[in-house]
C-alpha cells in the first residue's frame, strides 16, 4: 500500500470515528420530552407520582409535561392524550382510565414513533406487553403496584380485624378499570382461605363517595350482621366509612381502604377507617421516567416493574414508615 493510500485510509478512518463520536455525543445531549398523563390531576396519588417523575426528569435532564383531566374517565383523558400526541413528545407515560377504550388512541401514538409506558393502570387483558400477541402489547412496559396482591393484603388485614368470620363486601368503582378489577380479584381469591367469611355481591359506586355511603346503608339493612367492607379505591373506602359512621356502626363494621391521602391519618386515628393499603406512587413516577430515558437511548428495559405496599392501621399510624407512605396533595 502506497503512503498516499495509507494517508487517505487513515484520514477516512479518523473521519468516521469522529463522526461516530459526534453522533453519540449528539444523542447524549438531546433533551428528551416525556409526557406524564395521570388518571386525573387532582388526586394525591397522581400528584405524588408527578413528584417522583419530576425528580427523575430533573436528574436526567429531560423535559417533563404533566397534563391530565379533572376526573378519572376516558371521556376526559382521550382528548388530553390526543393533544399530547400532537405535541410529538419522545415518550408518553400514562395511567389509562379504561383498559379497552385507550388502546386505539395509544396505538396512534405508538405508530407515530412515540414510546409508551403505562403507569398504575394498563391496557388489554393483563398488562403483559411485548408478547407479540393481541392488539394491546405495544407499550414497552407497565410500572405499577401488583394490584392482585394488594387486594390479597387488604383481605388478610380485614379478615384479621373481624376475627376471620362474618359478612363482607367490596365497594368498587365500576368494571373495566384494570387496577380496581384486580384488587377485587385478589381480595376475593384470598377470602376463599377463610371459611368463616362470606363475601357478598360487589357494590359499584361510579367513584361517588355519597353513592358508596348509600350502598353501605342498604347493605346493612339487608345484612345487620355485616362485619367489614373493602374499598377498592379511596372514594369507595371514604364513602363506605361515612356510611358506617352515619349508621352508628363505627368499630362494629371494619373498613379497609386502598390508597393513602393525607386525610387517611385522621380517619384511622378517629376509627372511621380501620386500615389502609398504601401504594408507592413516587417510585412509579421515578422508575417510569428512568425507563423511558433508557429506552430512548436504545437500551432494553424490562416489560414490568412492581412496587410494594405499606399497610397503615392504628398500631403504626404514627410511625415514620407510615408517614412516609402518605400521598401529598400539593
pLDDT digits (tens, 9 = 90+) for 219-228: 999 999 999 9
pLDDT exceeds cutoff 70 at 13: no
Q: What is the pLDDT of residue 125?
A: 84
**Whole-number average pLDDT of the chain:** 91
Topology, domain 148-279+313-325: Rossmann fold (3.40.50)
- The CATH class that applies to domain 27-145+283-307 reads alpha beta
Reading the block at residue 173, the C-alpha cell is: 368503582
Q: What is the pLDDT of residue 6?
A: 56
Cut 0.75: pTM above it: yes
Contact between 141 and 165 (Cβ < 8 Å): no
The residues, ordered by sequence, that sit 6+ positions from 199 with a Cβ below 8 Å of its Cβ are 167, 168, 169, 170, 187, 188, 191
Reading the block at residue 33, the C-alpha cell is: 420530552
The pLDDT-based confidence of 18 (bands split at 50, 70, 90) is: low
Question: 260 φ, ψ to 5°?
Answer: -140, 75
The pLDDT-based confidence of 267 (bands split at 50, 70, 90) is: confident
Lowest-pLDDT range of 196-200, 229-233, 261-265, 310-314: 261-265
| Mean pLDDT computed over 125-136 | 89
Residue appearing with cell numbers 386525610? 263
HSE at residue 168, side-chain half, CA atoms within 13 A, is: 33
pLDDT exceeds cutoff 80 at 3: no
Contact between 129 and 137 (Cβ < 8 Å): yes
pLDDT digit string, tens, across residues 41-80: 988 899 999 999 999 999 999 999 999 999 989 999 999 9
The pLDDT-based confidence of 330 (bands split at 50, 70, 90) is: confident
> H or E element: which one contains 204?
strand 203-204
The pLDDT-based confidence of 211 (bands split at 50, 70, 90) is: very high
226 closest CA partner among 243, 206, 209 = 243
Percent of the chain with pLDDT over 70: 91
- CATH 3.40.50.2300 region(s) of the chain? 27-145+283-307, 148-279+313-325
| Distance separating alpha carbons of residues 33 and 64, to the nearest angstrom | 6
pLDDT exceeds cutoff 80 at 27: no
Reading the block at residue 31, the C-alpha cell is: 433533551
Residue appearing with cell numbers 409508551? 116
pLDDT exceeds cutoff 90 at 176: no
Amino acid at each position: 500500500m502506497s503512503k498516499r493510500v495509507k494517508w487517505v485510509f487513515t484520514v477516512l478512518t479518523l473521519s468516521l470515528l469522529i463522526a461516530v463520536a459526534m453522533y453519540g455525543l449528539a444523542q447524549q445531549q438531546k433533551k428528551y420530552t416525556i409526557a406524564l398523563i395521570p388518571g386525573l390531576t387532582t388526586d394525591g396519588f397522581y400528584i405524588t407520582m408527578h413528584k417522583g417523575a419530576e425528580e427523575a426528569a430533573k436528574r436526567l435532564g429531560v423535559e417533563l409535561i404533566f397534563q391530565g383531566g379533572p376526573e378519572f374517565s376516558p371521556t376526559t383523558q382521550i382528548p388530553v392524550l390526543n393533544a399530547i400526541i400532537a405535541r410529538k413528545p419522545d415518550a408518553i407515560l400514562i395511567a389509562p382510565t379504561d383498559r379497552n377504550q385507550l388502546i386505539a388512541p395509544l396505538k396512534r401514538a405508538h405508530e407515530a414513533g412515540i414510546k409508551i409506558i403505562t403507569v398504575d393502570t394498563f391496557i388489554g387483558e393483563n398488562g403483559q406487553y411485548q408478547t407479540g400477541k393481541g392488539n394491546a402489547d405495544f407499550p414497552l412496559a407497565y410500572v405499577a403496584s401488583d394490584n392482585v396482591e394488594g387486594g390479597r393484603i387488604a383481605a388478610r388485614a380485614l379478615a384479621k380485624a373481624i376475627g376471620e368470620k362474618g359478612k363482607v363486601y367490596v365497594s368498587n368503582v365500576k368494571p373495566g378499570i384494570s387496577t380496581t378489577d384486580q384488587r377485587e380479584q385478589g381480595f376475593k381469591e384470598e377470602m376463599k382461605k377463610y371459611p368463616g367469611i362470606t363475601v357478598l355481591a360487589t357494590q359499584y359506586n361510579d367513584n361517588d363517595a355519597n353513592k358508596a355511603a348509600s350502598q353501605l346503608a342498604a347493605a346493612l339493612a339487608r345484612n345487620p350482621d355485616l362485619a367489614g367492607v373493602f374499598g377498592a379505591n379511596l372514594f369507595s373506602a371514604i364513602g363506605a366509612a361515612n356510611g358506617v359512621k352515619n349508621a352508628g356502626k363505627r368499630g362494629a363494621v371494619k373498613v379497609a381502604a386502598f390508597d393513602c391521602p393525607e386525610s387517611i391519618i385522621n380517619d384511622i386515628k378517629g376509627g372511621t377507617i380501620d386500615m389502609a393499603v398504601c401504594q408507592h406512587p413516587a417510585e412509579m413516577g421515578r422508575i417510569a421516567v428512568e425507563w423511558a430515558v433508557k429506552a430512548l437511548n436504545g437500551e432494553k428495559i424490562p416489560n414490568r416493574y412492581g412496587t410494594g405496599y405499606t399497610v397503615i392501621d392504628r398500631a403504626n399510624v404514627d410511625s415514620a414508615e407510615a408517614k412516609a407512605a402518605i400521598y401529598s396533595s400539593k
